[in-house]
Structure formats: C-alpha cells, structure tokens
Amino acid sequence: MIRMSPTLLCGMLLVLATGVRAGGEPVEITIRDYAFQPAAITVPAGTTVRWVNREKRQYHSVWFEALGEPEPDYIFPEESYERSFDSPGEFPYRCGPHPEMRGMVTVSE
Ligand SMILES: [Cu+2]
C-alpha cells in the first residue's frame, strides 16, 4: 500500500479535474458525429492540442482558415492532428469538407 500526502493527492486530483497543463500531455478534442467535442476550449499558452477522429468512417480536417493557412491533410478515423499554441489569443477553426463544423481555441496567458 502506497501512502500519499494529502497535498500530493489534491494536486493530482486538480490535474485530473482541469485537464493537462502547459508543457504536459496534449489536451484532446474528440471529433465525432460531425462535431468537435468540446467545440470551445481554453488552454494556457504553450499547450499542445490534439484532435482525434473517433468517427467510424468519416474523415475531417482541422483548418485554421482565419490564419490564412492552407487546409491541412484530412484525418481519417483513429488518426489525429496536433497543434501547439504559444501565444495568447482566440483561434477559430473549421473542418474543410464540412463548413458547419466549427471550433474555437482560446489561449490564455
Ligand atoms: Cu468534417
């Protein structure tokens, strides 16, 4: 039986409750039923976000069109796309093939 201090335990629970902090594992967004889930997230600067396609068959893309970038490759079921956010701001994105699929990443200080 491993004993843990209450402080350590609280810290671990906080991490579980708030998601992964900057510099840790990527924060994950699920793509399913033609939607980004959750569609809006707020992360601290320096966070990597990973979108994972959990559809059975449908491909999608994660396109930060407003940044003037070309659409990236489609991600097929069980594939993923990652992007790091180093500067604070609001970063809207959409799916290329499905313009009604939209999301927002808000990066805090
Ligand atoms: Cu799509």
- Measured in Å, residue 89 CA sits from the centre of ligand 1 at 24
How far is residue 37's CA from residue 79's CA, in Å, rounded to a whole number?
Answer: 16
- Measured in Å, residue 96 CA sits from the centre of ligand 1 at 6
How far is residue 59's CA from residue 95's CA, in Å, rounded to a whole number?
Answer: 10
104 known ligand binder: no
**Residue 24: per-residue pLDDT:** 78
User: DSSP labels for 16-78?
Assistant: HHH-PPTTSSPEEEEEETTEEESSEEEEETTEEEEEEE--SS--B--B-GGGTPPPPPPB-TT
4 known ligand binder: no
Q: Which residues of the chain have pLDDT under 70?
A: 1-23
12 known ligand binder: no
CATH number corresponding to 22-108: 2.60.40.420
**Residue 5: per-residue pLDDT:** 52
**Residue 3: per-residue pLDDT:** 57
